[in-house]
Structure 1
Amino acid sequence: MDQAATYGSLPLLKRERIWSGWDYTWVNVSLAIATWAFLVGGSTALLVGFQDGIAAMIIGNAIGLGIMVLASTAASQRYGVEQYTILRPVFGLIGVGVLVFTVILITEMGWSSLLAIMVGRAVTQVANATAGTDFGSGSFLVTVVGLLAVLLAWFILSRGPVAIGKLNKFVAPGLVAVTVFMMFFLVANTSWDQLFAAGPLAPFEDSQLNFMMAVEFNVAVGFSWYPVMGSMARMTRKPKAALWPAFSGLLIGTLVAQIVGMAAALTLGDSDPTVWMVPLGGPLLGAFMLLFISFANITSMSSIVYSTVLAIRQASGNLLGRVPWPVLCASFFVLPGILTFFPDFMYDQFMIFVTISGAFLSAMCGAILADYFVLRRQRVSLPDLYRYRGESTYHFTGGINWAGMAAVAIGAAFYLWVYNPATLETQPLFLLLTASLPATVIAGIAYLALSHVLYRVRGVGGFDLQADTGTSTALTAVTDESKA
């Protein structure tokens, strides 16, 4: 495969797209079934019981994933373009860079550090169970193992997306088997009656508020996949190999893991999967399952960082374009490595971190959907994606599409007004529609209105493009321009 396409932002040709629908399904399943997904289920159990929890997780993930998959994979798969390059018509070259180095970078560094810390906690629990040690959840061993997990994820990532795909073919089926075993042992050690009778761990007085907070949390989890999906979807051969495998793979994998996590939390009283997996499966089998899922966390980190580092490279223009791929990946892991020194803090802020990330990602998705499906009718000029400054029709004003940036700010602000996850203040609308769904719609409407006022009436931004530019033609044009 062409290195410039794999590690850069050039469009992938048909022969360079290596994943079938099944390949991409396994990639998404292995991403979804990781220990953080069990933690999401356990966190949902803080607010609702088993039956309400299942409903909240299905509704929330379906909403978040449905919007996110359309916004992240449709354009990238069709044109074979890395997802942050294809965002230039929505936010402009500089605008994409601003979002990448703020919203996207903070979100993915937070998830990567959390995954590394969970590996550290998992190994610590195995050591305590098998060797009789007494390491705590915030011990230095957690940090050491977390740093080793970061190092291993960097090594896998440095080998490129092909290595990630090959590993996921083996990891994903194993994760499904492990999850089924865990559910079996859970039911065998308790009972269905006990499970359905178990109440939430730390609910508020208003049951409707509890349910909607659980739904919103899971909607945000669905949106949290946005930063990694488009860059992987462009590796698929056909549209149907991208959209449905992304939605179904993430939805099924996430729900299975979350339901097991919620059930264990409700019956065993702890939302942290690294605490209950060994007692649930026994010192040997439980330790094996926990270690296996910990390795899946490492492959998840690799997949996450692949897309994010591509985004960093293209958003920096020529600044980081010549930095070797392994070096660029290593620079990303610096902050997640530092955050492994604060494991308890990352756990305590988990729900707030996920929900606030959802506020900005839902607003981004609203602007993206309005641009690509409504205004541009799925037509993008590929040569203009790779031209700079005034040579590109997507230069807008100083390299920023202010309609897109304003739409994100408006949508996120509306979200935080409807529901503030830090203070738990809510508006009545939240109890009916959550915060993410109306924020997505508001951001989309704002983008449509501002794009018309600021650009379309002046013929700026290429909104009325009539001819669809093929990938091969665009790639030839970009190559010829670079040679010139």
Structure 2
Amino acid sequence: MSGGKRAATRTTSQTAESQTVESRSASLGSFPLLKGERIWSGAEFTWVNISLAIATWAFLVGGSTALLVGFQQGLAAMIIGNAIGLSIMVLASVVASQRHGGEQYTMLRPVFGLVGVGILVFTVILITEMGWSSLLSIMVGRAVTQVSNEAFGTDFGPESVMVTVVSLAAIAAAWWILSRGPVMIGRFNKFIAPGLVVITAGLMVFLVLNTSWDALMTASPLAPFEDSRLNFMLAVEFNVGVGFSWYPVMGSLARLTKSPKAATWPAFGGLFIATVIAQAVGMGAALTLGDSDPTVWMMPFGGPLLGGAILLFIAFANITSTSSIVYSTVLALRHSSGNLLARTPWPLLCAGFFVLPAILAFFPGFMYEQFMVFVTISGAFLSAMCGAIIVDYFVMRRQHLHLPDMFTPGAASRYHFTGGVNWAGLAAVTAGAVFYLSIYNPVTLETLPVFSYTTASLPAALLAGAVYYLLASLAYKWRNLGGFRDVPETTPVNTISNNAVKDHA
């Protein structure tokens, strides 16, 4: 090879490496992504969402639904609940982030203020995502030990030390994938998602072929209450909470897509279809085999070889799911902490997130026992957040934001409000969550009569939106504060320069 060709090859390699580094840096930063920095097509984002949706926890949701209702009512509860939760969640998280290219929690500064976003991130979002991360890692531990018991004759219990050891290994693997950014996550999901689709479809066929249809349709719930209407609405509310549970991750993932169509429909459709199918399989298996834990029923369901292979594959999918859901949360921690974590290396920041999930891995029974309570309580706060966000972005601002002011420090930003907090936003979240818990207490299972007709999430989201509109109008809009009355001047993300944003900041 001539010297010129070697130089050209070396230059091309350096350019490609530079572009990769720049893309990775952009995807880990808070500044809006430009068109050339978007890495996912609609198909790729669909696979990401399918991989997220079809993890062992989706089968656990189906099995938990079987505690309350039979197959027909359970399927209806899944469809209704996920449709409600996902519709509101997509509007609150995906649309603004994709349109403006901004990191999800940066886009919340007009709703809650810079400090207000930090308060929510370090409380509601952090606790929610740490809970899901610990659950997913523990499920990996249970899956692997179940396969070991069947294949090698070991006798590891569901709360044994080996479950903790494997859970910690799963956390380490998730950290390794996450530390390399969303590009690595996308690469894994290209292979994981199609495999999960095949496995889920196969399990559904296997369920139909090996179970009498009449037996499935007439199977009794595992642990219902006396009131059938209450059972159904509890199942619906549980699945609404599952739909809302996607909120902390969807916006920051959607901003990596190349167009609004590539973000919105894959976010809703990919999650909805994959989730309902996986949950239906889990529910059917739980009703016919009598156990809601997929790490228990999948071995007798698929046999030693097939069931073991499926469990191991889905266990690995849980690891990639953990990486995907933690990505946006770690971004939020960095961007919401001011200068505290701004210069912390990305791998170290990711490692810090996993400290609490690693501690919870030493108590593998805790998250299983409190699974439904955890989902519904997190849903109380997330539904209220979504209600306030939708009213701010779609009703009061009509989808117009001033991007440079997102990054302008202090009182110079129109989104500074009072001490960096939009108190209307925090008050709305508080009011909505309290209203939710007054309608339905997931710890005591006490409900008001209205719960049997409306669920708790929908009224909570509506009330939070109404409270936000009223307080934001009185405190800010009528006083010409907070950018509510500005002439729309959104700069298309395809033409804005990150340097321009930085210069303005």
The TM-score normalised by the length of structure 2 is 0.94
Counterpart-to-counterpart distance in 2, 1:133 and 1:16: 49
Kindly provide the amino acid, as one letter, of the partner of residue 468 in structure 1: T
Alpha-carbon displacement from aligned partner over 1:430-480 (angstroms, at most 9, x marks no partner)? 011100001000000000000011111111000123222232436232222
Alpha-carbon displacement from aligned partner over 1:281-332 (angstroms, at most 9, x marks no partner)? 1111100000000000000000011110000000001111111100000000
Counterpart-to-counterpart distance in 2, 1:195 and 1:359: 32
Query: Which portions of structure 1, spanning 4 or more consecutive aligned residues, are displaced by more than 3 angstroms?
Result: 1-4
Counterpart-to-counterpart distance in 2, 1:119 and 1:370: 39
Measure how far apart 1:181 and its partner are. 1.6
Q: 1:305 aligns with which of 299, 320, 326?
A: 326
Q: How does 1:149-188 map to 2 (within 5 A)?
A: 149-188=170-209
Counterpart-to-counterpart distance in 2, 1:5 and 1:416: 40
Kindly provide the amino acid, as one letter, of the partner of residue 328 in structure 1: L
Is 1:49 aligned to residue 63 of structure 2? no
Paired position in structure 1 for 2:480: 459
Aligned-partner SS, 2:496: helix
Kindly provide the amino acid, as one letter, of the partner of residue 5 in structure 1: A
Measure how far apart 1:256 and its partner are. 0.8
Paired position in structure 2 for 1:36: 57
1:158–1:325 CA contact under 8 A, matched in 2: yes
Aligned-partner SS, 1:260: helix
Greater Rg over alpha carbons, structure? 2
Paired position in structure 1 for 2:501: 478
Counterpart-to-counterpart distance in 2, 1:455 and 1:480: 27
1:8–1:313 CA contact under 8 A, matched in 2: no
Is 1:140 aligned to residue 161 of structure 2? yes
Measure how far apart 1:202 and its partner are. 0.2
Aligned-partner SS, 1:200: coil
Aligned-partner SS, 1:54: helix
Paired position in structure 2 for 1:386: 407
1:183–1:260 CA contact under 8 A, matched in 2: yes
Paired position in structure 2 for 1:7: 28
Kindly provide the amino acid, as one letter, of the partner of residue 53 in structure 2: A
Counterpart-to-counterpart distance in 1, 2:363 and 2:220: 31
Measure how far apart 1:7 and its partner are. 1.1
Q: 2:222 aligns with which of 191, 198, 201?
A: 201
Q: 2:133 aligns with which of 108, 112, 116?
A: 112
Counterpart-to-counterpart distance in 2, 1:469 and 1:96: 23
Aligned-partner SS, 1:242: helix
Measure how far apart 1:166 and its partner are. 1.2
Kindly provide the amino acid, as one letter, of the partner of residue 503 in structure 2: D
Paired position in structure 1 for 2:381: 360
Measure how far apart 1:8 and its partner are. 1.5
The TM-score normalised by the length of structure 1 is 0.98
Counterpart-to-counterpart distance in 2, 1:373 and 1:140: 50
Query: Aligned-pair RMSD on alpha carbons?
Result: 0.9
Kindly provide the amino acid, as one letter, of the partner of residue 69 in structure 1: V
Is 1:427 aligned to residue 463 of structure 2? no
Name the count of aligned residue pairs: 482
Alpha-carbon displacement from aligned partner over 1:247-274 (angstroms, at most 9, x marks no partner)? 0000011001000000000000000000
1:19–1:236 CA contact under 8 A, matched in 2: yes
CA change 1:3–1:285 in 2 (3 A) is closer
Kindly provide the amino acid, as one letter, of the partner of residue 442 in structure 2: P
Q: How does 1:32-111 map to 2 (within 5 A)?
A: 32-111=53-132
Aligned-partner SS, 1:135: coil
Paired position in structure 2 for 1:294: 315
Counterpart-to-counterpart distance in 1, 2:316 and 2:256: 23
Q: 1:245 aligns with which of 256, 266, 285?
A: 266
Measure how far apart 1:3 and its partner are. 4.2
Counterpart-to-counterpart distance in 2, 1:392 and 1:295: 44
Counterpart-to-counterpart distance in 1, 2:84 and 2:496: 36
Unaligned runs of 5+ in 2: 1-21
Paired position in structure 1 for 2:491: 469
Counterpart-to-counterpart distance in 2, 1:4 and 1:311: 15
Q: How does 1:256-405 map to 2 (within 5 A)?
A: 256-405=277-426
Counterpart-to-counterpart distance in 1, 2:436 and 2:350: 33
Aligned-partner SS, 2:103: coil
Counterpart-to-counterpart distance in 1, 2:23 and 2:269: 30
Counterpart-to-counterpart distance in 1, 2:289 and 2:265: 35
Kindly provide the amino acid, as one letter, of the partner of residue 473 in structure 1: I
Counterpart-to-counterpart distance in 2, 1:191 and 1:118: 29
Unaligned runs of 5+ in 1: none
Paired position in structure 1 for 2:19: none
Aligned-partner SS, 1:86: helix
Kindly provide the amino acid, as one letter, of the partner of residue 479 in structure 1: K
Aligned-partner SS, 1:133: coil
1:85–1:385 CA contact under 8 A, matched in 2: yes
